[in-house]
Structure formats: C-alpha cells, structure tokens
Amino acid sequence: MVLIPIHPQPVPDRPDQLRWITPGGVLPFRGVAATAPEPLGALLRDGTLDEVRVETAGVVTTLGPGRTWSGEGTRVRSALHAALADPASWRPADVADKPDDAPLREAAQALLDGQVGEFARSHGGHIELVDVHDGTVTVRLGGACRGCPASRLTLRHRLEDQLRRRCPDLVAVTDTTAPQN
Amino acid sequence: MDAGCHSEGTPGAVDTALPRIALIGSPNAGKTSIFNALTGMHAKTGNYPGVTVSRFIGSTRIGDQRYVIEDLPGTYSLEPISPDEQVMVDVLHGRLDGEQPPDALLVAIDATTLRRSLRFVAQVLRLGLPTCVMVTFTDELSGRQGHLDVEAFEQALGVPVVRVIGNRGQGIDRLRERIAQWRTWSAPVLPPPADPAETDAWAESVLTFAAYRAPGRHRVTQRVDAVLLHPVWGTIVFFAVMVLFFQTVFTIAAPLQGYVETFFGWLSGLTAEHIGNRWAAGLLGEALLGGIGAVLVFVPQIVLLFLLIALLEGVGYMSRAAFLMDRVMARAGLEGRAFVALLSSFACAIPGIMATRTLPSAKDRLATMMAAPLMTCSARLPVYVLLIGLLVDPQARVGPFGVQGLVMFGMYLLGAVSAMVAAWAFKKIGDRRGALMPFYMEMPPYRLPSVRSVLVAMGHSAKSFLRKCTTIIAVTTVALWLLLNLPLHSDAELRAHGVDPGDSAAVATYVTDHSYAADLGHLVAPVFEPLGFDWRINVGVLSAQSARETFVATLGQVAAADDPEQPTQALRSMTHTDGPHAGEPLFTAPTIAALLVYFAFAMQCMATIGVMRRETGGWKWPMIAFSYLTVLAWVMAYLARTVVALLGG
Amino acid sequence: MVRRPSASPHPRQLTDDAATAQRPAGQVSLLADLPRGHRATVVRVADDAHPATARRLEDLGFTSGTEVEVVRRAPLRDPVVYRVKDYELCLRRAQAQCVLIREAA
C-alpha cells in the first residue's frame, strides 16, 4: 500500500501544533474536522488531539492538554496516514471556511514586487497580479516571458512554491497571459 | 582502539573536553573528500575493536576550538547486517568500551541520489543527536537537469543543511562555520518515521516541498558504460586497462626502485670506505642501511600502485571492473571487488592486501588476504628468471613459443590458480559458521576525483605501510645479515684456512660458508633433503625470508661466483659436497623445479606479514598464512620434484 | 516494527511459469526474471528472503511502489545492473530473486 506523502512542520509560536504538509486536494473541504476515520477519530475522542484542521495542502493537528509530540507524534502520524487513505469519511465541523484572501493577496503582491518579479525582469519580462479569489491567484506575464511556454511555466512554479510556503492555503496560481500569435 | 586514541592524535589537549563530530554517509557520497578537507593528512588510523575495519580519526581547528572528527565507514543503512556494521552502530550509540556517543553528526548525502538517501537520513535523525546534513554533488545535479531548493529542504527536514562540493572544496568554509555552532543546531520537530512505508511517504513529501527534480541519466556515464560494460568490448578494454596498470608500474616504479637501490649501494660503499673495521662497516653499511633501504625500495611501487588504485576508484571504474569479474570471482566464493585486490598482488601483495578494505564482508577480506601472497609478485621475478635460466635451454621452442617464456607463463598461472583455490578454501572454512552476505554494489556515475583526495588516499596508504612495516623489514634484514656474517673471523684465521684477506669475494664465500646461517642451513637440511636442496640452497632460501630477490645474491655469494648478481655459471658447476649424492650436480632439473615451486608458494616476504598484521589487527592470521603457505610450499615442491624426475626418466 | 502483509503463495513457484509462459502485465513476478530494458514496479521484498537481505534491499531502495528498470547484464549473465530511486546498482540473481515486481503494461 502506497501512503500519501506527508511530513510535519512546526507552527510558529504554537508548540502544541504540527502542520502536516500534504499534496493539495486530498481532502474534500477546508476547516476544522468534526469527525475523521479511525484511528484518527479515536485520538480526537480520547483527548490526545484537541483539534484537526484541514488546509488546502496540509492538516494542522493540535495536541490535547498535557500531551507532547515526543509522546504522541508517532501515533498521530500513523493515524493520519490511515485517515488520509479514506478522505470520504472526513466530516467538517461546520460550513467550510471561506478562505480569507487578504493575507494571500498581500503575500502575492510582496513576491511580485520582490524576488519573483525581479527574476522575471532579469529575463526581460514582467509579471503582474490580476486577481486573488478563493485561494486562487491569477497573474499575467509580459515581455520576453509572454511568448515562451517554458519561462511561463518556470515563473508560475516559482511563484506557486514561494507563495505556498508562506500561505499553505493557496489553491493554485493561474496564468491568463494571452498566447502570442 | 579505545578513547585513548584521541589523546594521541591531539597533543596538548584534554580529549574529553573536545567535541567529537562523526561523519556518516553512503560510500559514494563524497564523505571522505569532506573529511580530508576538514582534517588534512593528520588522520590517525587503527582498527575498530574486534573487526578488521580501519578507523579514521582526525582533528580540525575552527576559531580557537579544536574538534575531533571521525570518518565512519560508508554505509547505506544504520540497521547492521554484519559485525563490521554492528561496530559502526555501536560507535554511534557510544556502546564501545570507554566511549560516549559522538557529540554531533555530519551526514553526507549525494544530491543525485536523494530519493534513496532520505531513508538513511531518516534513520540518522532518529538517533536524536545534533545533526547537520551536507548535500554533495549539487553541481552535478544541476548539470543533469535536476533541481533542489536547499533552503526549502532545510525547512522540511528541520535540521541545518549545507551545500558542499567536495571535489572542488566549495562550501567547506560554510561547513566549518556550522560545525562551530553545533550546540545550536535545530532538531526536527518530530523524528522521521521508522516504518518503511511511512518513511517513503515522508521522503516524497520532503522532496516535493524542496522542489526536488531528480537528475536525468548521466550522459557521459551512459555512453562510456555502453562500451566499458559491453560483453565483448568491455572485457577487451578491461584487460587493456589491467595491462596498462602493470606496464605503468614496471615502467615507472622499477627505475625508481633502481635509483633507491643504487643510492643505498653508494651509501654502503661509502661506509665501507670510511670505516676500517670490516665487520663494523658491514653492520652499518649492509645491515642497517640495507634494512632501511629494503623498506624504502618498496615505496615507489606501493605509492604508484596506490595512486593508480585511488585514481581508478575515484573515477568510478573499479565498480565496473568488479562487475565484469564478479561471476569469475564467485566461483572461488568471493566477489568482483576481490579481483582488484588479487590483481594488485601481481605487482606486490602489499597493496593487494590493503585493497581488501573495499570488501564489505570480513570473511571475503580474510580469504582474499590469505590468497594474495600466492599471486606471482614482482619480487619472485628475479628468482624465476635465474632458475628458469638454469632449467631450460634458451633456444628450446615449442611451436612458435620459447619454452622459457612458457614456463614463466606457467608460473604466473600457477600463482593465479592456487590463489583462487586458497581463497575458495578459506571462504569455505570461514562460512561454516555464518550466513552469506548479500551481494550488491552501487555503480556511481563517472566523476573526476579531486586531485587532493587521490593524493591523500595515496599518502595515507604509503604512510601506514611505512609506519607498520619499517620495523619488521629492518629487523629481519639486520637479523639475517647477522646470521650470514657471524661468527667473526680474524685475518689470521682466514689465512690459516687458505683465504687471502684481501680477496673480498673469497672472504665473503668463506664467511658465508661458516656463518650461523650456514649452521641453520645444515640444521634444516634433513627437512629439505627430500626436495633436493643442500645446505647452501637452504641458506639462500633463508635469506629470501627478508626479501625474495636476495636469494639470487646470496646464492651467488655461496657459490663463490665472480659476480654474485649473475651466478648462473657458478651455480651450474656446483656439486653436492657430501651425502649420498656427493659429486653430482646440485642444480638438477627436479631440484630446480622443486625450488621454483617452493618459491611460488612459500610466504617469504616479511613486509607482507607486517601488512597482514596491521590489517587484521593481530598476529593470528599472518601466522596462519605463514604456516599454511610454508607447508604447502614444501608439499608442492616435493610433488614438482617427483613429477619432473618421472618425466625425466 | 516492520509491518508486512500476509504471506503470499511461495514466490519461488513463479520462476517455473515465468521462464516459459507468457506473462500478462499486472502479474506478480521476480525481479530476476525481468528482461533487459524492461520496467516494473516493486510489489515488496519476498517474505522468505533472509531478513538481512530483505532489510538491505529495502534500504537500497527496493520498497513497495518504487519503479525499477533493468539496465544491463554482465557478460556471464550475472550480476545485473538495475536502476532504482534515481541511481544504478548491481545485484546477483540470488538477491534479485527476493524482489517481487509487477511489470508495467
């Protein structure tokens, strides 16, 4: 059985939390999970975990009071692997979060003003933000980048990687550059 | 070796206060280049306790703090499947007597094999020690259209990651800075999983986060391997490389050795001139200087062989050679890598025995070491030339081939075949107790080794040979000289026996004939009589114990030859002095055959014994080798004698 | 501890069929029988393999779901160079017989 790739990252200022980076789109919703398949559900019920929250490309687990990751980490990981194999059995706590686009917009603009934009300019092109909506960032490329499919792909990936690291909630970066004829 | 080794390597420092850093990683990840770059040539070597695995510990100074750095053997896993690997794991856990676990770990991983290496990294991180990851060959990764975001990789792993390009020395300074901060290295928020499936999932996730793009095939390697590993072309190229290997040794090392011999000859001539007392001149000039000279004369050959081996290994050709020869080696119970060790022994058994380090199985190492002395080394050549010259008419031919050449070829073949049989026998004896180790061998891409790492590898080997063999060679040379030149004879004594003290050749013959060595020769005569040797041949054989080629000169002296280096005529006219064959020629065909075969099998090189002792960490195995080879030599010589006598009618 | 799926039919039986019969893609076979140039996915290391061999093979990259390709054979048919997890290594037949694979269609 091939397991879904996940690895843990610390959450700044929250030693009781772990963000498990997962591929995007594994689970059908975003937000706090009310129920999850066994044995993850069992961990929620017995107080090992206080909360399990689903993000676009990650799951944030919060430890119950008095627990430590050195004590529970292995069990949580194994339980999470098992639970991710059965995405249909996850249930959201309430209506799924509406993603807040403001931090995403800020981060995207900062990158375009900064290293990603510079990278484009150094190759004789430019990149601009068109829209940010529901976790999707839309950009348009111009100059030398416009006609070259390879550079467009590189640029898009670069922006996506950097953005996702800052905002794990990112769904996708799309490119509305009109193809050069 | 215990903790005491630290204090020897770091003079003037309290070892327990020095931080100990251990370097680990897989065999082709460039770990040793980094170790050399950090510690220079100042690595102390020895063995790990209880196993025949060398231990490399050095030190480095960063700022005003000294660090002890240990280069652990390359490995693919921290789950041991052999006693050698168990020892390494014991070092990491501080389970060796008197030792603590290392203070920090440096893990070397090859950026082009990250997918496989992460499993190893997971095992290392689970140890819970402060760890820093060194990613090597990132330049090659880019060159092969791969990619790695090192910062993201660092974030995903949770430990510091340093990019090091070992063969160009790049990143070493940054590495040294990181080492200095070892107490503040970050640790992963959660240790990586132990379960294999979870580990694979963890690895894939980390690689995705780090935007890893695996390298494409290495073009050069693909193209070159298409030839080098081709069933026909590859084998041809292989033999060509081997011939070139030897050609280089004989063409370059031989003249260098000649210079050393000439120099020491000149030195001892000088002492003979300036020291009146004949005996004192001899002791200083021939014995002591001769002893030192006997050691140094090895050096050109050994250094050159090790240079070639290090080059071939560094480039990556060794694994190809082992791949081609594995099936053949498997017949003797060994594996492909043993071929290189045995092949080197055709020049000299010493680098051959030291080359057994590349064999992962301790049993393979021992079996190969026991077999290496049987390979026809270059020291046997002068003896063979002399004896074949006595045995065979230079004009004799069989078809297009000269018989002399054929016999020489036959001796080489005898050496190779008996080595294979010996290896098989020792492997069989050893295997009764343990399970066979699985065979696997990485085929790394062809890479240009750094000049520094090749020179350091060569330097280390030469240094360790000198350190451990100088004593034994020098002592043997001096001892034998004493045996051959004592007791002393005054001039009056000489004249009384009809020897002119001014005639140095006659004096030499007289001294030899009445020396303690001659007494020994007479003593062991009954043992060697069935082989057809008389006491004079015995003296020659005895002197060959320090170095085989001295057999020629000693025999020349005994035979009172005009030129001891070319004694053929004198030897032909030698006759038995007493016993049932008195008056008959000494060097009959059966006797010569017996002598040839005796030299093929007997272990007569003290340097080899010294190296074996160093590699196995004790006297047991060298003594076993010495015993079995001496007995074998006698038996085979007797067989040869009988066969030749029968053939002769 | 390592979790292994329940024991499968004795893998050694496969060699008799695999050598002569046609192998439909999707059938489990031995790495040792994979012809040169072919690709396959590792199912797992055989249950009856010596534990040391099994562990080492997994550490070398022969884990469930990994792609493996046969690169070349030695002049005397053994050992064989395989490409797995982005690198190349050679195994003898005895070790390759311990790896169960499913050939790509």
Tens digits of residue pLDDT in A134-149: 788 888 888 877 777 7
Q: Is B257 helix (H, G, I), strand (E, B) or coil?
A: helix
DSSP H or E stretch at residue A60: strand A58-63
CA distance C18 to B569: 70
Phi and psi at residue B216, in whole multiples of 5°?
-75, 180
From B60-69, B70-79, B194-203, B576-585, the region with the lowest mean pLDDT:
B576-585
Residue C32: DSSP 8-state: G
Q: The tokens of A152 are what?
A: 């467009």
What pairing do the DSSP bridges indicate for beta strands A125-133 and A136-143? antiparallel
Instruction: Give me the residue label for tokens 């909506």.
Output: A133
Given a cut of 80, is residue B214 above it in pLDDT?
yes
DSSP H or E stretch at residue A8: strand A7-11
Nearest residue, CB atoms, B190 vs list A4, A22, A69: A69
Q: What confidence tens digit (pLDDT) does each residue in B503-522 have?
A: 777 777 777 778 888 888 88
Our CA-based measurement puts residue A76 at a distance from the nearest CA of chain C, in whole angstroms, of 16
Residue A8 in contact with residue A61, Cβ under 8 Å?
no
Q: C59, B234: Cβ pair inside 8 Å?
A: no
Q: The tokens of B270 are what?
A: 């000088």
CA distance A58 to A17: 12
Nearest residue, CB atoms, C85 vs list B115, B229, B336: B115
- Interface-testing mutation among B119, B150, B155, B198, with chain A (most A C-beta atoms within 10 A): B198
Q: The tokens of B433 are what?
A: 């107790």
CA distance B195 to B198: 5
pTM: 0.80
Chain C residues with CB under 8 Å of B114 CB are: 86
Q: Which amino acid is at B472?
A: I
Instruction: Name the residue among A103, A47, A99 with its Cα closest to residue A75.
Output: A47
Our CA-based measurement puts residue C31 at a distance from the nearest CA of chain A, in whole angstroms, of 19
Residue B401: DSSP 8-state: E
Our CA-based measurement puts residue A162 at a distance from the nearest CA of chain C, in whole angstroms, of 26
> What per-residue confidence (pLDDT) applies to B385?
84
- Quick one: closest CA in C to A1, which residue? C64
CA distance B556 to B560: 6
Given a cut of 50, is residue C12 above it in pLDDT?
no
CA distance B603 to B548: 9
Nearest residue, CB atoms, A5 vs list B190, B195, B208: B208
What pairing do the DSSP bridges indicate for beta strands B131-136 and B161-164? parallel
**A residues 36-95 lying closer than 8 A (beta carbon) to B:** 69-70, 73-74, 77-78, 81
> What per-residue confidence (pLDDT) applies to A77?
95
Calculate what percentage of chain A has a pLDDT beyond 90.
Answer: 19
* CA angle centred on B134, ends B129 and B138, rounded to 5°: 160
CA distance B602 to B583: 29
| Mean per-residue pLDDT, B336-344 | 87
CB pairs under 8 A between A and B: 60
Nearest residue, CB atoms, B438 vs list C53, C74, C88: C53
Instruction: Name the residue among B30, B59, B32, B33 with its Cα closest to residue B44.
Output: B59
Residue B380 in contact with residue B599, Cβ under 8 Å?
yes
| Mean per-residue pLDDT, B601-625 | 87
Strand spans (E) along B26-179: 44-47, 54-62, 65-71, 104-110, 131-136, 161-164
Chain C residues with CB under 8 Å of A2 CB are: 64-65
- Quick one: closest CA in C to B121, which residue? C59
CA distance A83 to A102: 31
Chains that touch A (3 or more CB pairs under 8 A): B, C
Answer whether C10 touches B (CB < 8 Å): no
Chain C residues with CB under 8 Å of B435 CB are: 50, 52
Q: Is B276 helix (H, G, I), strand (E, B) or coil?
A: coil
| Mean per-residue pLDDT, B220-242 | 87
Q: The tokens of B65 are what?
A: 């703090």
Q: For residue B2, what pLDDT band results from cuts at 50, 70 and 90?
A: very low
Q: For residue C57, what pLDDT band results from cuts at 50, 70 and 90?
A: very high
Which residues are within 8 A (CB) of B611 and not within 5 positions of it... i.e. 6 or more apart?
B349, B350, B353, B354, B465, B468, B469
> What per-residue confidence (pLDDT) applies to B560?
63
CB atoms within 10 A of CB B93: 14
Instruction: Name the residue among B388, B195, B8 with its Cα closest to residue A80.
Output: B195
Q: B209, A21: Cβ pair inside 8 Å?
A: yes
Q: Is A124 helix (H, G, I), strand (E, B) or coil?
A: coil
Instruction: Name the residue among B548, B557, B563, B560 with its Cα closest to residue B600.
Output: B548
Q: Is A17 helix (H, G, I), strand (E, B) or coil?
A: strand
Answer whether A4 touches B (CB < 8 Å): yes
Instruction: Give me the residue label for tokens 């194994």.
Output: A78
Q: For residue C8, what pLDDT band results from cuts at 50, 70 and 90?
A: very low
Nearest residue, CB atoms, B205 vs list A6, A78, A165: A6
Q: Taking all residues of chain B, what is their mean pLDDT, rounded to a whole number? A: 84
- Interface-testing mutation among C31, C50, C69, C92, with chain B (most B C-beta atoms within 10 A): C92
Phi and psi at residue A7, in whole multiples of 5°?
-150, 150
Residue B639 in contact with residue B592, Cβ under 8 Å?
no
- Quick one: closest CA in B to C53, which residue? B438
Answer whether B187 touches A (CB < 8 Å): no
Chains that touch B (3 or more CB pairs under 8 A): A, C
Residue B611 in contact with residue B465, Cβ under 8 Å?
yes
Q: Is B54 helix (H, G, I), strand (E, B) or coil?
A: strand
Q: For residue B65, what pLDDT band results from cuts at 50, 70 and 90?
A: very high
Nearest residue, CB atoms, A8 vs list B189, B197, B211: B189
DSSP H or E stretch at residue A32: strand A31-35
Our CA-based measurement puts residue A31 at a distance from the nearest CA of chain C, in whole angstroms, of 31
Q: What confidence tens digit (pLDDT) does each residue in B248-303 have?
A: 777 787 788 888 888 887 887 787 777 777 677 777 777 777 777 777 777 887 78
CB atoms within 10 A of CB B146: 19
Half-sphere exposure of B409 (CA within 13 A, CB side): 6
Chain B residues with CB under 8 Å of A3 CB are: 197-198, 200-201
Which residues are within 8 A (CB) of B483 and not within 5 positions of it... i.e. 6 or more apart?
B515, B516, B517, B520, B542
Q: A3, B200: Cβ pair inside 8 Å?
A: yes
Given a cut of 80, is residue B46 above it in pLDDT?
no
- Quick one: closest CA in C to B328, which residue? C76
Answer whether B196 touches A (CB < 8 Å): no
- Quick one: closest CA in C to A4, which residue? C65
A9, β-bridge pairs: A19
> What per-residue confidence (pLDDT) applies to C74?
86
Q: B442, C87: Cβ pair inside 8 Å?
A: yes
Our CA-based measurement puts residue A22 at a distance from the nearest CA of chain B, in whole angstroms, of 7
| Mean per-residue pLDDT, B419-447 | 84
| Higher per-residue confidence, B544 vs B461 | B544
Answer whether C85 touches B (CB < 8 Å): yes
Q: How far apart are the first and last CA of chain C?
A: 34
The CA-atom distances, in angstroms, between C30 and each of A14, B465, B560 are 49, 47, 72
Residue B319 in contact with residue B576, Cβ under 8 Å?
no
Q: For residue B611, what pLDDT band results from cuts at 50, 70 and 90?
A: confident
Answer whether B206 touches A (CB < 8 Å): yes
Q: Is A7 helix (H, G, I), strand (E, B) or coil?
A: strand
Residue B82 in contact with residue B437, Cβ under 8 Å?
yes
Q: For residue C17, what pLDDT band results from cuts at 50, 70 and 90?
A: very low
Q: Is B104 helix (H, G, I), strand (E, B) or coil?
A: strand
The CA-atom distances, in angstroms, between B489 and each of B279, B287, B484, B492, B554 are 9, 18, 13, 8, 19
> What per-residue confidence (pLDDT) applies to B564?
59
> What per-residue confidence (pLDDT) applies to B1?
36
Half-sphere exposure of B452 (CA within 13 A, CB side): 15
Residue B583 in contact with residue B576, Cβ under 8 Å?
yes
CA distance B11 to B144: 46
Q: The tokens of C18 are what?
A: 């695999």
Residue A13: DSSP 8-state: T
Q: A7, B156: Cβ pair inside 8 Å?
A: yes
| Higher per-residue confidence, A8 vs B534 | A8
